[in-house]
Amino acid sequence: MEKNIIESLWNRTEEIPDDPALITKEGGHWREISFREFGEIVTSLASALLASGLKKGDKVSILSQTRVEWTLSDLSILAIGAITVPIYPTLLKDEVFYIMENSDARAIFVEDEAQLAKVVQVRDNLPLLKKVIVFRGEGASNGDFTMGFKEFQEFGEKESFRYKQQLRTEAGEIVGNDLATIVYTSGTTGVPKGVMISHENIIFNIRALDKIFISSKGDRALAYLPLSHVFERFNQFVAIYRGNPYAFAESLEKMAENLGEIKPASVAGVPRVYEKIYQRINEQVEKGPALARLIFTWALRVGKRMIPYQEKAEKLPFFLSWQFRLANLLVFKKIKERLGGKVKYCICSAAPISKEILEFFLSLNIGMYEGYGMTETTAPTSMNYPGRNRAGTVGPPFPAVECRIAEDGEILIRGGNVFLGYYKMPEETEKTLKDGWLHTGDLGEIDEDGYLRITGRKKELIITSGAKHVAPNKLENLFGSSPYISQIVPYGDKRKYLTAIISINEEAVSNYARKNGIEFKSYADLARHPKIYDLIKGIVEEKNRLLAPFETIKKFVILDHDFSIESGELTPTLKVKKHVVYQRYKDLLEGMYEEG
């Protein structure tokens, strides 16, 4: 029985050496990399790492968009028993530095010279860093410290005769609790926490998924989400374990085109991706003739009547079955063809999806299965699946995973997929892991059939519909540093971008108004004045430049009063009661999303 994903790779190279393992577009054409070539490249890269002085237990970062080199580098790191530390390419220099310093990174793979520049700027403060490998931009080669990816691979090819057998032998010596990766996720304090995930965590979850989702030989998967995120990385490991092809989309923008070219058997995505597909389909229908709209609406009604039978994998009644065949011929089949024509199921995880969109896909007879998980559970820990699919829930827990609800409604998880703890944060680990139970910070309930339903968030972390994690406190501290802003309340859970409610500092803004000849009689006059709005807008734009794109405030409103203890919007210690603000100003918040 394979104990780690490296054993899986070496076994696939022997069992199905000529089968496609990775598919990437080069020069406008798709190229298949067989499992034999996959293994050879990983062997070369791993040999180069060993020859460069890296060893088991060392930390190696990857700072790049999703691309084939990401996977090749990841597996080469794991092959020597080292620990992969992913870094989002959207992070700024200081955030990259924090992760590299905190994780004790000794080497890093970077995508291009733009990402290399982030590392070079902080190099002097990273004494442990010994090697940088650049995927693109061979001109960045700088002797022993910086090397191009191809150059590094060629160096490893020359050294592989020394290490090939060692790599195969040591794969079997990587035990379950050995650390495989440290994935940094932002906490509510804004300080990233390094989630320690073991080889056993990964294999446990793969086997669990393998029991509920049946795969066929040659089933393709398409990667377009960030491999820095545990969700897409897990999909990568599943493909290797199963011996199925794993294709890399050219970009998120070209995903729709790539779906038609790759024809994947499954699509794994976050809510925002499915929202875009949903919007695109509806826009095209609206542009069509009246008859086509009527047929589409009728087909959706047929599809919705079919959902209860899908949930239990029951046979359709004769008349509904007949209607479905007609709806499939006229509507459903054509939509499926836009997704490549071979999609068996779609998985949605990383953030909650609206029931409306979920039921839309189910109505089209596209198996849409929502799951729940977090970095600390090595991706999904509960999942709807064929024969057990209940819209509005995130399915039953994975096999051999225990789930219970605490007295305060918090979801607790125990199982082989639960992480080892937070790197260098024993106190945070003790707060989160108690008696083997992971305290998720999420609120939920379990129905009589064992389905888990998410009802809210105990923690304040915002997760956008694109599965980006944003710590509100980080934004509050940044924007609150302006003398003109009294309070800022970021908003955007399950939304495609962040908005905010802002209250102004009356004294500072009053002084500004007097200096600039702005007439006013009250706080409300200031809050409603166009020149004050421009002042705050300029501050927001200035602060946004210090943030990653997904953290920026896209829209905001200025309240005509400040928050207060008396109004119930502040605690006695002057902290904003966010749940009160969200409820009280719901219309203002929702209004900022009406036009996209």
- Reduce the DSSP state of residue 67 to 3 states and report it: coil
Dihedral sign from CA coordinates of 472, 478, 479, 482: positive
**Are the C-beta atoms of 398 and 320 separated by less than 8 Å?**
no
Q: What is the DSSP code (8-state) at residue 461?
A: -
Dist CA 455 CA 312 (whole Å): 24
**CATH homologous superfamily for the domain 471-591:** ANL, C-terminal domain (3.30.300.30)
Distance of CA 293 to the CA centre of its chain: 35
At residue 354's C-alpha, the angle toward residues 238 and 286, to 5°, is: 105
Q: Give the domain ranges of the chain.
A: 1-13+32-174, 471-591
First to last CA, the chain: 50
Instruction: Say what the pLDDT of residue 186 is.
Output: 64
User: What b-and-e string marks burial along 237-264, b requiring 16 or more CB atoms within 10 Å of the CB?
Assistant: bbbbbbbbbbbbbeebeebeebbebbbb
Task: Determine which of 42-51, 361-370, 376-385 has the lowest per-residue pLDDT on average.
Answer: 361-370
Instruction: Say what the pLDDT of residue 187 is.
Output: 46
Q: What is the DSSP code (8-state) at residue 315?
A: P
Mean pLDDT over 550-571 rounds to 87
Mean pLDDT of the chain: 90
1-13+32-174, CATH topology level: Rossmann fold (3.40.50)
Mean pLDDT over 374-380 rounds to 94
Dist CA 367 CA 336 (whole Å): 11
Dist CA 212 CA 281 (whole Å): 30
The tokens describing 235, both together, are 């999909």
Instruction: Say what the pLDDT of residue 299 is.
Output: 93
pLDDT of 138 over the 70 cut: no
Task: Name the more confident of 409 and 552.
Answer: 552
**Are the C-beta atoms of 249 and 269 separated by less than 8 Å?**
no
pLDDT band at 351 (very low <50, low <70, confident <90, very high): low
**Are the C-beta atoms of 10 and 76 separated by less than 8 Å?**
no
Contacts of 439 (CB under 8 A, 6+ apart): 406, 410, 412, 431, 432, 433
Do the domains 1-13+32-174 and 471-591 sit in the same CATH topology, yes or no?
no
Q: Any bridge partners for residue 462, and if so which? A: 470
Dist CA 127 CA 45 (whole Å): 23
Q: pLDDT per residue over 95-136, tens digit each?
A: 899 999 999 999 999 999 999 999 999 999 999 999 999 999
Q: pLDDT per residue over 269-317, tens digit each?
A: 877 678 778 877 877 887 889 999 999 999 999 999 988 887 777 889 9
Instruction: Say what the pLDDT of residue 69 is.
Output: 98
Q: Report the relative pairing of strands 462-463 and 553-558 from DSSP bridges.
A: unpaired
DSSP string over 196-244: EEEHHHHHHHHHHHHHHS---TT--EEE-S-TTSHHHHHHHHHHHHHT-
Q: Any bridge partners for residue 379, and if so which? A: 374
**Are the C-beta atoms of 459 and 236 separated by less than 8 Å?**
no
**Are the C-beta atoms of 303 and 365 separated by less than 8 Å?**
yes
SS3 content of the chain, % helix, strand, coil (to 5): 45, 25, 35
Mean pLDDT over 18-39 rounds to 97
Q: pLDDT per residue over 475-532, tens digit each?
A: 887 887 787 888 899 999 889 999 999 999 888 899 899 999 999 999 999 999 999 9
Instruction: Say what the pLDDT of residue 286 is.
Output: 79
Instruction: Say what the pLDDT of residue 419 is.
Output: 98
Instruction: Say what the pLDDT of residue 475 is.
Output: 87
Instruction: Say what the pLDDT of residue 189 is.
Output: 44
**Percent of the chain at pLDDT exceeding 90:** 63
Dist CA 212 CA 207 (whole Å): 9
Q: What is the DSSP code (8-state) at residue 265?
A: S
Q: Using CB atoms within 10 A of its CB, is residue 530 exposed (0-12), middle (13-18) or buried (19+)?
A: exposed
Instruction: Say what the pLDDT of residue 507 is.
Output: 84
pLDDT of 196 over the 50 cut: yes
